[in-house]
Amino acid sequence: QKTIGILTSGGDAPGMNAAVRSVVRTALYKGMRVIGIRRGYSGLLARDMVEMNLRSVCDTLHRGGTVLYSARCPEFRDDAGVERGKEVCVEIGIDGLVVIGGDGSFRGARDLSIKGIPCIGIPGTIDNDIACSDYTIGFDTAVNTVMDMVDKLRDTSQSHDRCTIVEVMGRRCGDIALHSGIACGAVAILVPEVPFSIDAIVEKMQRTLSTGKKHFIIIVAEGVVNVNGIGSVQDIANEIQARTGVEARSTILGHVQRGGAPTARERVLASEMGHYAVELLEQGIGNRVIASKDNKIVDYDILEALNMKREFNKRLYQIADEISI
């Protein structure tokens, strides 16, 4: 009987539970044993694990966070740590491992695969910054959370003729900003992938003011804040207010974007990816990352996936600019 392990690693993301549930249920359906490992690679090294049964993942599909907990494990960056991880897998009898996380987690999965424990990575991060996959688990929910919050900010911006400048997450990736910016009708979207100027934003606002609009939303990706002379979102607000005369306030949404019930789309994506991961392990295949490409679930070699370059959707960015006048 095959035994597989499952863990969640790095930053948590809504939908991770749906992926865990799918892995557990698929593996049990196929007659495998499943070991749930708590707190990522740290839990593997500490043997913090529990055997999963059909009921272990009841009532988790709709919950944010991860029931397996997540952690960062600096030891796993060194060969000695990975070697210990392999030894634990051999000792416990884990024949394959599913790792739900981001880039860093996949590097660990690759190192462990090379040592003979087949590992499959599932992209779980709100940032959508995994180059090989059009979507990562957590992104859709995060965008919807931002949209709900900004809709609320819009109500009060509108009542007071204000400009609201909202900082959203995404690390070096502007996707959360781009998608939420379009969904919320932002007048400007600042992302690390596209150069922008405050002059151009001020000019656009002045044009828009002349047509009668008095309140504005600007979405700023965290990846542009405090780099290249751009200060905090409050600094941007101060400059906009000084140059346009429109009262400007800043809001940093923060970790609220990492929580909440996963959207339906997220649950479906996570369920498909989890199922696919187990199919690969069943065939003894490891060192692969699952991805969603053109609405199909596919897999890539981990190193190949890590070396891919993300392509920012410039066309969508252009559309956002053209329809926000």
Residues making contact with ligand ATP (CB under 6 A): 9-11, 41, 72-73, 76-77, 101-105, 107-108, 111, 125
Minimum separation from the CB atom of position 101 to ligand ATP (A): 4
Q: Which amino acid is residue 113, in one-letter code?
A: S
Q: Which amino acid is residue 222, in one-letter code?
A: E
- Is 222 known as a binding-site position? yes
Residue at token pair 């929580």: 259
Radius of gyration in angstroms for the set of CA atoms belonging to the chain, rounded to a whole number? 22
Minimum separation from the CB atom of position 172 to ligand ATP (A): 10
**Helix, strand, coil shares of the chain as percentages rounded to 5?**
45, 20, 35
- Is 315 known as a binding-site position? no
- Is 169 known as a binding-site position? yes
Q: Is 127 a known active-site residue?
A: yes
Residue number, 218 or 273, with CB nearest to ligand ATP: 273
Alpha-carbon distance 111 to 85, whole Å?
10
State the residue number with the nearest CB to ligand ATP. 104
Q: Which of 184, 192, 97 is nearest to 145 (CA)?
A: 184
Minimum separation from the CB atom of position 292 to ligand ATP (A): 17
- Is 202 known as a binding-site position? no
CA dist list (Å): 106 to 97, 259, 261, 288, 289: 11, 22, 25, 9, 8
H or E segment to which residue 117 belongs: none
Annotated active-site residue in 12, 95, 111, 127:
127
Sheet containing strand 3-8, edge to edge, reads: 49-52, 33-37, 3-8, 96-101, 119-123, 288-293, 296-301
Residue number, 36 or 124, with CB nearest to ligand ATP: 124
- Is 162 known as a binding-site position? yes
- Is 127 known as a binding-site position? yes
Residue number, 170 or 181, with CB nearest to ligand ATP: 170
- Is 73 known as a binding-site position? yes
Minimum separation from the CB atom of position 258 to ligand ATP (A): 9
Minimum separation from the CB atom of position 42 to ligand ATP (A): 7
Q: Give the residues across from 287 on adjacent strands.
A: none
Alpha-carbon distance 150 to 170, whole Å?
16
Alpha-carbon distance 141 to 75, whole Å?
31
Alpha-carbon distance 28 to 25, whole Å?
5
Residue number, 47 or 160, with CB nearest to ligand ATP: 47
Is there a contact between 16 and 137 (Cβ–Cβ < 8 Å)? yes
Residue number, 113 or 263, with CB nearest to ligand ATP: 113
Which residues are annotated as catalytic? 127
Q: Which residues are annotated as a binding site?
A: 11, 21-25, 72-73, 102-105, 125-127, 154, 162, 169-171, 213-215, 222, 249, 255-258
- Show binding-site residues for substrate: 125-127, 162, 169-171, 222, 249, 255-258
Task: Specify binding-site residues for Mg(2+).
Answer: 103
| Binding residue numbers for ADP | 21-25, 154, 213-215
